[in-house]
């Protein structure tokens, strides 16, 4: 990780061409260094953070005065940093009988701040939680008595999590866990505090900045979707080809505990929706055997979405995994114990993340924890099902080979789609798909749950969601279209995005004919679409052309009365 001085040197580099994010920082201590660290760390992740920083201790004035600079600046992300030091300062000034109410009073204030900001601005709020300070008035007894400062501080951190769990646009940046990792002596430096009113040490700034930028990246749709595992000495100890299945180290054998715990971690990631793939230099039957038969294996064969074990080179195998899953290399993490393999992969596939695993497998987990690779800003129940979606996709690809024509194959699938507007049940998944889709995304407009809720109530918008299931399984909700009334005859396609899991099934034809049938009845005649190119969505450059839209003044227009819908093999699910 870069030092603060190194991050500061980034500030002299050329930020043009990077994605611009307007950010506001509100702090109750001095935040100039934090500002610089964020700006510098943002550069390394491809962001040009345009930061407006309130003078310190101005939080309430900036938030509760509707004419303040904050509202004038119109940021898309607001960081609120109220320090544990100032919290202790407040506590110190209370009368003893008021100590008990500190956490609840503070959370009320934070709720007010949050609701004021979000009523005025369309923003995400990032709140830094409180680092622990024990004022040692009670010793261990602080844990037994509600009015101790430590009790109130921990209660407040818990209340913050409650608030975050109920509000989709309120996020916590967990700086308390950073203090846990580096220790309070490294987190806070009293001489810096006394001289500058800053509560973050110079050394901890890069970590705080990294953790914040991880969150912002995820908000911008940059996050990991897949972990690719090597097997020998990563998933288990030993070389299965030499040692045989019964001698690999997992469970109680040798240093097996390290590998078992690693596997539990991977299993939890899989349950959270991270796709697990295997890429190993082994014969396939030998490599699969432990997943099928070894009693101590935590990971089983149905946890793995793509399993590749052969003697080809790993770069080609990773390319094959990427092609099968249809996700970007930048959303993949490759774990391999061999520095040689890691370097070849890095050289050939620069976008993929390849952690420099420590030599001792016992250190793998702590090291991987510290990288915070799997930041996310959404979670929906579909995540738990994701591995299954990709496994059935492999089955479909095998089935496809048995048919003479693609049409015959599509007919055989018995595809059905459930079409619904936005509602409170599909909202989390819509928000998530909006963030996850990069390739099949016409205008790359991202919708938060709050915006989705607004859209669902709006008179000027029409919303459509589509699921797709077939005889192999249910893909869940995979496509969203949002239409805006432009005038009495014309509907503008505010966005159209789709999961790449369902490419080449004729889904786009089904979507178009569904929209056309529905909107014709409401008296509309034209659909107007736009393609906004990004680094990732070249896939849909010809989307509207292929669907029969005509180019007109930078937009694409489709006459709904032309009756040119293409044949498709998807039926409505009732």
Partner 1 sequence: MERVVILSQVQDIFKDILDDEEVILTDKTQAPDVKGWDSLTHIQLVVGIERHFKIRFTSREIQSWNNVGEMVDTIQNRIQNS
Piece of 6-14, 329-337, 486-494, 535-543 that binds partner 1 (CB under 8 A): 6-14
Q: Is 5 in the site for partner 1 (CB under 8 A)?
A: yes
Q: Give the total of residues touching partner 1 (CB under 8 A).
A: 18
Q: Is 194 in the site for partner 1 (CB under 8 A)?
A: yes
Listed in order, strand segments (DSSP E) in 419-518 are: 419-420, 461-470, 473-485, 490-498
> In this structure, what token pair is assigned to residue 489?
């005859």
> In this structure, what token pair is assigned to residue 72?
């004038």
Q: Is 1 in the site for partner 1 (CB under 8 A)?
A: no
Q: Is 213 in the site for partner 1 (CB under 8 A)?
A: no
Q: Is 260 in the site for partner 1 (CB under 8 A)?
A: no
Q: Is 182 in the site for partner 1 (CB under 8 A)?
A: no
- Give 32 or 372: the residue with its C-beta nearer to partner 1: 32
- Give 66 or 185: the residue with its C-beta nearer to partner 1: 185
In the complex, the smallest distance separating the C-beta of residue 29 from partner 1, rounded to whole angstroms, is 13
In the complex, the smallest distance separating the C-beta of residue 77 from partner 1, rounded to whole angstroms, is 24
- Give 12 or 457: the residue with its C-beta nearer to partner 1: 12
> In this structure, what token pair is assigned to residue 275?
């796709």
Torsion angle of C-alpha atoms 252, 253, 255, 257, degrees rounded to 10: -30
Q: Is 201 in the site for partner 1 (CB under 8 A)?
A: yes
Q: Is 32 in the site for partner 1 (CB under 8 A)?
A: yes
Piece of 192-200, 253-261, 301-309, 510-518 that binds partner 1 (CB under 8 A): 192-200
Q: Over the Cα atoms of the chain, what is R_g?
A: 26
Piece of 166-174, 191-199, 327-335, 552-560 that binds partner 1 (CB under 8 A): 191-199
Q: Which of 198, 297, 318, 568 binds partner 1 (CB under 8 A)?
A: 198
b/e code 471-491 from CB counts within 10 Å (16+ = b): ebebbbbbbbbbbbbeeeeeb
Piece of 61-69, 117-125, 201-209, 448-456 that binds partner 1 (CB under 8 A): 201-209
Q: How many CA atoms lie within 13 A of 554 on its CB side?
A: 2
- Give 3 or 381: the residue with its C-beta nearer to partner 1: 3
The Cα–Cα gap between 93 and 484 comes to: 54
The Cα–Cα gap between 297 and 262 comes to: 11
Q: Is 179 in the site for partner 1 (CB under 8 A)?
A: no
H or E segment to which residue 226 belongs: strand 226-229
Q: Is 574 in the site for partner 1 (CB under 8 A)?
A: no
The Cα–Cα gap between 41 and 243 comes to: 45
The Cα–Cα gap between 106 and 376 comes to: 27
The Cα–Cα gap between 459 and 124 comes to: 25
Quick note: the x/- pattern for partner 1 over 11-30, rule CB under 8 A, is -x------------------
In the complex, the smallest distance separating the C-beta of residue 200 from partner 1, rounded to whole angstroms, is 11
Q: Which of 92, 119, 191, 398 binds partner 1 (CB under 8 A)?
A: 191
b/e code 270-288 from CB counts within 10 Å (16+ = b): beebbbbbbbbbbeeeebb
Q: Is 414 in the site for partner 1 (CB under 8 A)?
A: no
Q: Is 43 in the site for partner 1 (CB under 8 A)?
A: no
In the complex, the smallest distance separating the C-beta of residue 28 from partner 1, rounded to whole angstroms, is 18
Helix, strand or coil, per DSSP, at residue 463: strand
Piece of 16-24, 139-147, 188-196, 550-558 that binds partner 1 (CB under 8 A): 188-196
Q: Is 457 in the site for partner 1 (CB under 8 A)?
A: no
Q: Is 400 exposed, middle or buried (0-12, 13-18, 19+ CB in 10 A)?
A: middle
In the complex, the smallest distance separating the C-beta of residue 137 from partner 1, rounded to whole angstroms, is 24
Helix axes 102-120, 84-93, angle to 10 degrees: 130
> In this structure, what token pair is assigned to residue 257?
């505990």
Q: Is 210 in the site for partner 1 (CB under 8 A)?
A: no
> In this structure, what token pair is assigned to residue 493?
């396609």
The Cα–Cα gap between 92 and 103 comes to: 14
- Give 192 or 362: the residue with its C-beta nearer to partner 1: 192
Whether 275 and 229 have beta carbons less than 8 Å apart is answered as: no
The Cα–Cα gap between 268 and 252 comes to: 21
- Give 191 or 401: the residue with its C-beta nearer to partner 1: 191
Best CA proximity match to 56, nearest among 198, 213, 207: 198
Q: Which of 21, 33, 133, 188 binds partner 1 (CB under 8 A)?
A: 33
Q: Is 57 in the site for partner 1 (CB under 8 A)?
A: no
Q: Is 271 in the site for partner 1 (CB under 8 A)?
A: no
Contacts with partner 1, residue ranges (CB under 8 A): 4-5, 8-9, 12, 32-33, 189-192, 194-196, 198, 201-203
């Amino acid at each position: 990780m870069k030092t603060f001085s190194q991050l500061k040197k980034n500030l002299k580099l050329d930020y043009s061409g990077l994605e611009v994010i307007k950010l506001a920082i509100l702090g109750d201590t001095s935040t100039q260094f934090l500002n610089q660290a964020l700006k510098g760390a943002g550069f390394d992740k491809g962001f040009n953070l345009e930061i407006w920083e309130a003078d310190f201790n101005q939080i309430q004035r900036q938030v509760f005065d509707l004419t303040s600079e904050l509202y004038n600046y119109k940021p898309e992300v607001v960081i609120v940093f109220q320090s544990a030091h100032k919290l202790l300062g407040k506590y110190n000034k209370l009368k003893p009988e008021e100590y008990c109410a500190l956490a609840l009073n503070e959370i009320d204030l934070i709720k007010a701040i949050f609701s004021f900001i979000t009523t005025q601005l369309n923003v995400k709020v990032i709140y830094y939680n409180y680092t622990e300070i024990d004022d040692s008035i009670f010793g261990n007894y602080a844990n037994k008595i509600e009015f101790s400062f430590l009790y109130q501080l921990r209660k407040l951190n818990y209340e913050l999590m409650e608030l975050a769990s109920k509000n989709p646009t309120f996020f916590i940046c967990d700086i308390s866990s950073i203090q846990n990792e580096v220790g309070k002596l490294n987190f806070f430096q009293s001489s810096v505090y006394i001289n500058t009113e800053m509560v973050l040490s110079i050394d901890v700034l890069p970590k705080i900045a990294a953790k914040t930028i991880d969150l912002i990246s995820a908000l911008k749709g940059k996050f990991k979707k897949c972990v690719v595992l090597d097997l020998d000495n990563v998933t288990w100890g030993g070389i299965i080809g030499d040692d045989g299945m019964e001698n690999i180290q997992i469970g109680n054998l040798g240093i097996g505990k390290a590998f078992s715990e690693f596997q539990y971690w991977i299993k939890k990631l899989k349950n959270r929706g991270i796709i697990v793939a295997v890429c190993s230099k082994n014969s396939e039957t030998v490599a699969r055997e432990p997943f099928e038969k070894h009693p101590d294996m935590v990971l089983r064969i149905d946890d793995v979405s793509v399993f590749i074990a052969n003697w080809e080179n790993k770069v080609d195998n990773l390319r094959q995994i990427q092609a099968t899953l249809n996700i970007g290399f930048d959303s993949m993490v490759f774990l391999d114990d061999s520095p040689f393999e890691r370097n070849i992969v890095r050289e050939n596939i620069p976008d993929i993340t390849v952690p420099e695993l420590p030599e001792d497998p016992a250190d793998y987990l702590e090291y991987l924890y510290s990288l915070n690779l799997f930041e996310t800003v959404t979670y929906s129940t579909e995540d738990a099902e994701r591995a299954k979606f990709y496994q059935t996709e492999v089955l479909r690809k095998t089935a496809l080979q048995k048919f003479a024509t693609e049409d015959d194959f599509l007919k055989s699938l018995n595809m059905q789609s459930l079409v619904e507007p936005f509602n409170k049940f599909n909202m989390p998944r819509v928000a998530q798909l909006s963030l996850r889709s990069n390739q099949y995304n016409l205008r790359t407009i991202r919708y938060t749950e709050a915006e989705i809720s607004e859209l669902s109530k709006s008179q000027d918008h029409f919303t459509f969601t589509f699921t797709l299931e077939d005889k192999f399984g249910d893909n869940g909700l995979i496509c969203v279209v949002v239409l805006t009334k432009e005038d009495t005859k014309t509907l503008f396609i505010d966005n159209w995005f789709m999961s790449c899991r369902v490419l080449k099934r004729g889904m786009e034809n089904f979507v178009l004919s569904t929209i056309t049938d529905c909107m014709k009845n409401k008296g509309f005649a034209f659909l107007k679409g736009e393609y906004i190119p990004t680094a990732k969505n070249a896939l849909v450059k010809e989307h509207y052309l292929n669907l029969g839209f005509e180019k007109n003044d930078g937009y694409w227009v489709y006459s709904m009365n032309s009756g040119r819908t293409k044949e498709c093999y998807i039926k409505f699910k009732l």
